Structure 1
Amino acid sequence: METSYFFKNLNMVPEVFLGTLFIFLLVVILTRIFGLKSFSKMTGFDFVITVAIGNIIGMSINSSKPAILLGAFILLALFSLNYAVTLLRFKSKKAEDLIDNDPLLLMENGEVLEENMKASKVTQAELQSKLREANVIRLNQVKAVILETTGEISVLHTNDANITIEDYILGDVARSRS
């Protein structure tokens, strides 16, 4: 391999270093201003914003497309948009319902809810994988499996058949897809 491959564009190192430092510090400052929820993945919208922020950081630092200052502006816009949508969701139930999906019940009391599986496009193999991941050995241990708004799957299980899930835990979970 030719050595020029390793030493190509060395004159850009200081510029890349300063750009990386600037973007890093900006993200730290924006996170301090807007809060850690800026990187949460509690809703589908949060997930999209987190991916977009990561993408802009990577593209600005790696390719300078967008340029560092434009990337900084886009980051500020994404953090601001996320904060505005979060505030809107917090203050308005209608906005929350419009923006967020409801979590969906995939299993209840050991039984797979086939219609919900079909509606959500979750395969049997994906469900089985999540059950194994949660150390479920018998289906009768499963109290509920929920497809969360982020696409994650939560498995609630116990060995004690007398334990029931409190209503608050399943309060926002749809029993069927409308």
Structure 2
Amino acid sequence: MSFDSWGGIIRVVIAAMTAYAFLVTVLRVSGKRTLSKMNAFDLVITIALGSILATIVLSADVALAEGALALVLLAALQFAVAWLAARSARVRRLIKSAPTLLLRDGRLLEQPMREQRVTASEVRQAVRSTGSGAMEDISAVILETDGTFSVIAHNRLGSGSALADLTDHADPDAEPDGSRHAPGPPG
């Protein structure tokens, strides 16, 4: 069936324009965190918002008010969880993974790479993308919570304080209490 009626077409146009405007308004009101770089929780919210928008636009069985309520509820849930995560380490650990150190002082860390399903080739590519041609020039490569790689050269390490929250399975500088010294240039 390629065409049912003009009434259905007009309903889709009105529902799409109204739901789209409403979704943009909800996202603007809910804040920047709703559309930030995605972790698993953010991805689920984004997919759910898209699914609800599509349902509102294409399904005559869902009233615009019901779809709008669903959009508001999802945005409110995302806002509440982000608010709680910013204030509670327990909630933060529950919804977000920790960054993982994959290379330290030019040396690949095989166990964390295996656990994160990252290949040596992917780490080398991340290093090359920074313009560096030598792994030995790199102090750390980190797999971030959003799946991106951060590459820190020895000459850019500074105090290493930005590395404080890393998951580091093979840290020769680890203290017995689990704290760690920042990696430094090879000596």
TM range (shorter): 0.7 to 0.9
SS of alignment partner, residue 21 of structure 2:
helix
| Cross-structure match for 1:110 | 106
| Equivalent residues of 2:103, 2:109 under 8 A apart | yes
1:36 equivalent to 2:46? Answer: no
2:59 corresponds, among 64, 67, 90, to 64
Cα distance in 1, alignment partners of residues 78 and 12 from structure 2: 28
Cα distance in 2, alignment partners of residues 66 and 132 from structure 1: 52
| Equivalent residues of 1:23, 1:68 under 8 A apart | no
Give the CA RMSD over aligned residues.
2.6
**Relative to 1, partners in 2 of residues 1:170 and 1:100: Cα closer, same or farther, differing over 3 Å?**
same
Cα distance in 1, alignment partners of residues 63 and 130 from structure 2: 43
SS of alignment partner, residue 169 of structure 1:
helix
SS of alignment partner, residue 142 of structure 2:
strand
**Relative to 1, partners in 2 of residues 1:123 and 1:163: Cα closer, same or farther, differing over 3 Å?**
closer
Shift of 1:106: 0.7
| Equivalent residues of 2:100, 2:144 under 8 A apart | yes
Cα distance in 2, alignment partners of residues 58 and 24 from structure 1: 10
| Equivalent residues of 2:39, 2:96 under 8 A apart | yes
State the AA in 1 paired with 2:54.
G
Q: Structure 1 stretches of 5 or more lacking a match?
A: none
Q: Structure 2 stretches of 5 or more lacking a match?
A: 171-187
| Equivalent residues of 2:98, 2:145 under 8 A apart | yes
| Cross-structure match for 1:169 | 162
**TM-score, with normalisation over the residues of structure 2?**
0.76
State the AA in 2 paired with 1:113.
L
SS of alignment partner, residue 161 of structure 2:
coil
| Equivalent residues of 1:40, 1:47 under 8 A apart | no
CA deviation profile, 1:68-121 (whole Å, cap 9, x unmatched): 533322211210110110111122222222222111001122111111101111
CA deviation profile, 1:18-46 (whole Å, cap 9, x unmatched): 11111111112212321121111253322
Cα distance in 2, alignment partners of residues 91 and 16 from structure 1: 42
State the AA in 2 paired with 1:44.
A
Cα distance in 2, alignment partners of residues 41 and 118 from structure 1: 24
**Relative to 1, partners in 2 of residues 1:66 and 1:115: Cα closer, same or farther, differing over 3 Å?**
farther
1:126 equivalent to 2:119? Answer: no
Percent identity between matched residues is: 30
| Cross-structure match for 1:152 | 148
**Relative to 1, partners in 2 of residues 1:134 and 1:28: Cα closer, same or farther, differing over 3 Å?**
same
State the AA in 2 paired with 1:104.
T
Q: Within 5 A, what are the aligned runs for 1:10-49? A: 11=6, 12-49=8-45
Cα distance in 1, alignment partners of residues 79 and 37 from structure 2: 14
| Cross-structure match for 1:52 | 48
